A and B are shown apart, each in its own frame.
Chain A
């Protein structure tokens, strides 16, 4: 493994790839950005020190995010803060405004589309500029799940292990997170239309 052999470029690439997502996830556990920065720094140092013990049974990124979550939990307990998944008391309402549907449950009119760039099949640059802001506005537990699943690209199994939640739970949270980001992007679409 290049990292274990002290390959600095490989480590730098690893930091570039995961540092922002680590910060975003850490911030869902601890009350301030400064504490989140501390947790991320501790995590990277633990990664550097622990590379010899990393056995490759999980992927490297799962291992890194697990270290982060454990340290962030410890820190949150010390700060007497509720962990993001300790109370999921949010009412389970629909994710789409019920007024969008008629009494028969079908769309009153076709739902507004998000602008997309036909060449890349991604959302337009304009929407992309706002998408991370929309993620940052989410409640803690949603931000943690959508960051790990959709930004860092982890599998459902990996996310359940790291956040210590059930498969059904992570999917419900992800569903609500995506719907909220989508709703947050909509006013921008309408202004630009």
Chain B
């Protein structure tokens, strides 16, 4: 069953399609013509502009989230292994 009309490559992008292309766009993986359709839609749609901005923020937030500290006992064991195998060489 087809829920919505078939669309063609040259039709302007709609929001439902835009959200599925966000990761390709951010990775620079969209072919040139698709990238132009994407940016044309972006320029005139506040909802999609916000969606893309939130995706960017999600990614930068993940990158900026400090890792939980390593378990102190494990850390100490690794450091002494390092000392033993590499130190005072």
Additional A-B contacts beyond A111-B47, A122-B61, A182-B58 (8; CB < 8 A): A41-B74, A94-B19, A114-B58, A128-B61, A131-B58, A132-B65, A175-B24, A178-B59
- Establish whether residues B57 and A116, one from each chain, have CB atoms under 8 Å apart when the complex forms: yes
Q: How many residues of A contact B (CB 8 A)?
A: 58
Interface presence of B83 (CB below 8 A): yes
Q: For chain B, which range describes its interface: under 10, 10 to 19, 20 to 34, or 35 or more residues?
A: 35 or more
Main SS of the interface on chain A?
A: helix
- Establish whether residues B47 and A123, one from each chain, have CB atoms under 8 Å apart when the complex forms: no
Interface presence of A163 (CB below 8 A): no
Contact count A vs B, C-beta below 8 Å: 144
Proximity string of chain B (50-89) to chain A, C-beta cutoff 8 Å, 1 when within and 0 when not? 1100110111111111011110001101110111011111
Chosen A-B contacts, 9 in total, with CB atoms closer than 8 Å, are: A11-B86, A16-B69, A105-B17, A109-B47, A111-B51, A131-B62, A156-B27, A171-B29, A175-B23
- Establish whether residues B75 and A17, one from each chain, have CB atoms under 8 Å apart when the complex forms: no
A-side interface residues toward B, CB under 8 Å? Answer: 3-6, 8, 11-12, 15-17, 19-21, 37, 41, 44-45, 48-49, 51, 94-96, 98, 101, 103-107, 109-111, 113-114, 116, 120-123, 127-128, 131-132, 135, 146, 150-151, 153, 156, 167, 171, 174-175, 178, 181-182, 185
Residues of B within 8 A of A127 (CB): 61
- Once A94-B16, A105-B15 are accepted as A-B contacts, the answer to whether A122 and B82 lie under 8 Å apart by CB is no
- Once A6-B88, A98-B3 are accepted as A-B contacts, the answer to whether A122 and B47 lie under 8 Å apart by CB is no
